């Protein structure tokens, strides 16, 4: 079966020859669009006005997982809120025990105490948390104070049980004008609770939010993060990524390294931002229920839409830029792993939240 290590080495050769037909380092599978929060910045599911489609059955979801497994051994289960998938514990157990996936679970943390049987099967537990200020968090998530209190309590509790369950826990934050003033406090919270912090700017119509980009505080904050990172702060974000955020320069993006699969099994090609744009550059060319291998799905996508664009200056999300940098600049990856404990212990080469 495929492995991310073999894929990384294979991709180095492909890039050397000028090919953009790359094997995935990790795949993100959104198991359900349902969510129990109503985050103000969510452009996909939380603010959906149309009825949500039903999730796949357990048997269908297992077929999707088997297809993904022919492409890579790293899988991120996300949503919506993945813990709302009706059979999430059995799906996690199947992915780990039967297919040998190395698993990430990305959750908002509100329901963690109800799904502890899933936790021993995870490599990384990623909790979306944008602030430790209950007022700010409640306003962003659109939930009452008791839900906010439960989320913060669960983060502390399951941060303290990492050794027991065997996962590495990461907080993933969205940078918005509202969260920016409290992100450094969130970083200190992570340091106190043996957590790592990853982050991306709020996206609006596939571009970082304008009010954020024109704020002097945003640039000052990114420079401050670089200083804190050099001082050993638990940042699971490479220096290359932070500098890219600051410069907002065009970058070489390789979205096939971290492809996305929708709740119904559709492959998003080549990435979520291009698929959402509705242009002729991308779409949903294959459903993983209808194919038997990742290579077959990619062949269909390549035939319909061609290779991904070579250069991008759009979303600036960590889930796309980070793997692209680590794959196309192996020296940068080696330096990150040698120099920064968070990059090494958090497995930066295969970390693609979202």
pLDDT of 198: 98
Strand pairing class (74-79; 102-107): parallel
Rounded to an integer, what distance in angstroms lies between the CA atom of residue 128 and that of residue 338? 27
pLDDT reading at 49 higher than 90: no
Nearest to 23 by CA among 316, 255, 308, 317: 255
Percent of the chain with pLDDT over 90: 87
Residues 6 or more apart whose Cβ sits within 8 Å of residue 11: 22, 23, 25, 254, 257, 327
Rounded to an integer, what distance in angstroms lies between the CA atom of residue 262 and that of residue 55? 10
DSSP H or E segment with residue 204: strand 203-204
**CATH superfamily placement of domain 4-350:** Aldolase class I (3.20.20.70)
The whole-model pTM stands at 0.96
pLDDT of 56: 96
pLDDT digit string, tens, across residues 285-306:
999 999 999 999 999 999 999 9
Residues 6 or more apart whose Cβ sits within 8 Å of residue 46: 35, 37, 38, 39, 142
Reading phi first (left if > 0) and then psi (alpha if -120 to 50, else beta), residue 330 is in alpha
pLDDT of 46: 53
pLDDT reading at 197 higher than 80: yes
């Amino acid at each position: 079966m495929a492995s991310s290590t073999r894929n990384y080495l294979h991709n180095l050769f492909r890039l050397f020859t000028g090919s953009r037909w790359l094997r995935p380092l990790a795949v993100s599978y959104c198991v359900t669009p349902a969510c129990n929060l109503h985050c103000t910045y969510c452009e996909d599911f939380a603010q959906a006005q149309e009825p949500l489609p039903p999730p796949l059955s357990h048997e269908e979801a297992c077929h999707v997982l088997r297809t993904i497994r022919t492409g890579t051994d790293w899988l991120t289960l996300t949503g919506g809120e993945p813990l709302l998938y009706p059979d999430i514990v059995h799906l996690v157990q199947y992915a780990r025990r039967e297919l040998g996936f190395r698993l990430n679970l990305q959750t908002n943390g509100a329901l963690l105490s109800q799904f502890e049987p899933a936790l021993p099967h995870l490599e990384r537990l990623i909790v979306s948390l944008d602030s430790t200020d209950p007022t700010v968090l409640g306003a962003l998530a659109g939930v009452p104070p008791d839900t906010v209190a439960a989320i913060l309590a669960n983060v502390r509790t399951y941060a303290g049980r990492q050794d027991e369950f065997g996962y590495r826990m990461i907080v993933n934050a969205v940078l918005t004008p509202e969260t920016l003033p409290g992100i450094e406090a969130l970083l200190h919270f992570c340091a106190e609770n043996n957590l790592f912090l990853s982050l991306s700017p709020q996206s609006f119509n596939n571009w970082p939010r304008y009010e954020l980009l024109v704020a002097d505080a945003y640039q000052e904050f990114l420079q401050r993060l670089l200083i804190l990172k050099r001082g050993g702060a638990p940042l699971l974000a490479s220096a290359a990524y932070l500098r890219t955020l600051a410069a907002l320069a065009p970058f070489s993006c390789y979205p096939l390294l971290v492809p996305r699969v929708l709740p119904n099994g559709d492959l998003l090609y080549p990435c979520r931002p291009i698929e959402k744009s509705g242009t002729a550059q991308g779409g949903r060319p294959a459903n993983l229920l209808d194919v038997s291998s990742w290579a077959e799905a990619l062949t269909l996508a390549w035939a319909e839409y061609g290779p991904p664009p070579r250069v991008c200056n759009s979303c600036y999300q960590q889930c796309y830029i980070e793997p692209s940098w680590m794959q196309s600049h192996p020296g940068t990856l080696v330096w990150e792993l040698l120099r920064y404990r968070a990059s090494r212990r958090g497995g930066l080469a295969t970390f693609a939240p979202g």
